[in-house]
Structure 1
């Protein structure tokens, strides 16, 4: 069995600068060559930061719901700034293994995790645990889909909605991406969020579609897959589980199948 099944494949890593190294390492450990070019950066919602810190100083809540490791990171920054101690009786829900690991590293217990790493599954689990009248703090991406909050409000819970971070395109990398696509140096594209798909397409929209729509495209989960399909990508591979490790394994399985 080939210990380096991705040998000979060039793979584009589009994650943010902070998150790219882990995926790069997994691909290279499997023999692939990586072209690292962050297409988005994750930043706090600056115009609402003071408001969020003030909310954390005064709010009381029974639950915190985290739907990404970034949500944990930015919430923790705001929480430290608020000067408050985390309530000892607060319950925490986390979607996905990476998010759970980020919470665990802070020493906080996790009470709820879904079996599938998508918002719909987390919403289904939450409505079985959260009770009417409880208050849920929801630090999230400003670009998040509206799934969690409506589900909780439907059962009579109160939600403190906190759009605390967002994704912004890294415009300075546009020329490099266009050059690589024009030159045809990439075999595989990787997308870990709908935002990375949108940034990619916005950067290369004037380039002939044949140069990029036919590339193997690995998506971290079904929501990212849906965004890629919307933009016409023809050869989409979806991770299972919905993690970067799952992405690399799905690509390896695809490559092995191609070789048989």
Structure 2
């Protein structure tokens, strides 16, 4: 059992792209795939090191630091090119009221952004005692900064054996013999695996679309040129895959590597026809870093073969 929380703010700001030094470790898988998308705009690029970047990091501005630090431990430099931003969803204003007025056997959180939005609403609702099921360690880590005075009210009681929505829906325990109630604060773009899987098992699911993922509309031409020549693009969501594919769709044969945070994102990459797709067996930062390093090793081998 883990008891945890943190307070974060969601803001949409200008997005400067940076070449930064990065770090980490774990296990991986490989796959292959390519297709289409929409986008918006980071600024110029500033190098803090003489080395060229080897990895493009693409999460929303301000949310790439952990990956950059993890890769930095392996002397891998990063170019920050945010491909997405987050915006309030149509149900964002309902979440705190529902937490204040109703109780649920489970609250299911399936992404770090969903956790951030939930925590804001939970605090606004007066920090009621809740029981959480989270999709994996990456999402769970969002809660780790909860203050000791509040963590007794926020319990992470379940994570599935594999960090996917389908597995979570198939394994979430029922509470007693009654109809089990679940609150699912989700992205507008999230699929129906969670509610369908739980409803089929007899759970009563309330889904709120609390946030939306908006693709970047434009990237500075010089930043994009540098990103296109970087060996690996690291992506953490199907939305980021769509945004990247949209950026490259008119640029001919881009065939560098894509390192995905997990299988769901990798499947999206394959559907778009992207090539050289790497991903870990279990989603999370450590496996993601290992997949990035695997992609870089493959790139280095190819360059040696071409040079010989």
Name the TM-score, length of structure 1 as normaliser. Answer: 0.84
1:207-222 pair list within 5 angstroms = 207-208=251-252, 210=253, 212=254, 214-222=255-263
Note the 1:192-207 alignment, pairs <5 A: 192-207=236-251
**Residue correspondences, number:** 246
| CA apart distance, 1:176 | 4.8
Unpaired segments ≥5 residues, structure 1: none
Equivalents in 1 of 2:219, 2:52: separation in Å?
A: 25
1:48: which partner in 2? 91
For residues 36 and 52 of structure 1, the distance between their equivalents in structure 2, rounded to whole angstroms, comes to: 32
Cα distance in 2, alignment partners of residues 135 and 174 from structure 1? 47
Equivalent positions of 1:103-122 (< 5 A) are: 103-106=143-146, 107=151, 108-122=154-168
What is the CA distance between 1:49 and its match in structure 2? 2.7
Q: Summarize the alignment of residues 94-243 of structure 1 with structure 2, pairs less than 5 Å apart.
A: 94-106=134-146, 107=151, 108-126=154-172, 128-130=173-175, 132-173=178-219, 175-176=221-222, 178-180=224-226, 184-208=228-252, 210=253, 212=254, 214-243=255-284
Which has a greater percent of helix? Answer: 1
Do 1:39 and 1:170's aligned partners in 2 also have CA atoms closer than 8 Å? yes
SS at match of 1:105: coil
Give the whole-Å Cα distance in 2 for the aligned partners of 1:28 and 1:226: 27
Q: Distance in 1 between matches of 2:192 and 2:239?
A: 16
Identify if the C-alpha distance between structure 1 residues 180 and 150 changes in structure 2 by more than 3 Å, giving closer, same or farther: same
Residues 106-156 of structure 1 deviation map (CA, whole Å, 9 limit, x = unaligned): 322221111211111111111x43554121111111111111111221222
RMSD: 2.5
Bigger relative contact order, structure 1 or 2 (CA pairs below 8 A, ≥6 apart)? 2
Displacement after TM superposition at 1:198 (Å): 0.5
Q: 1:53–1:9: structure 2 CA closer, same or farther, 3 Å change rule? A: closer
TM-score with structure 2 length normalisation? Answer: 0.72
Q: Which is strand-richer, 1 or 2? A: 2
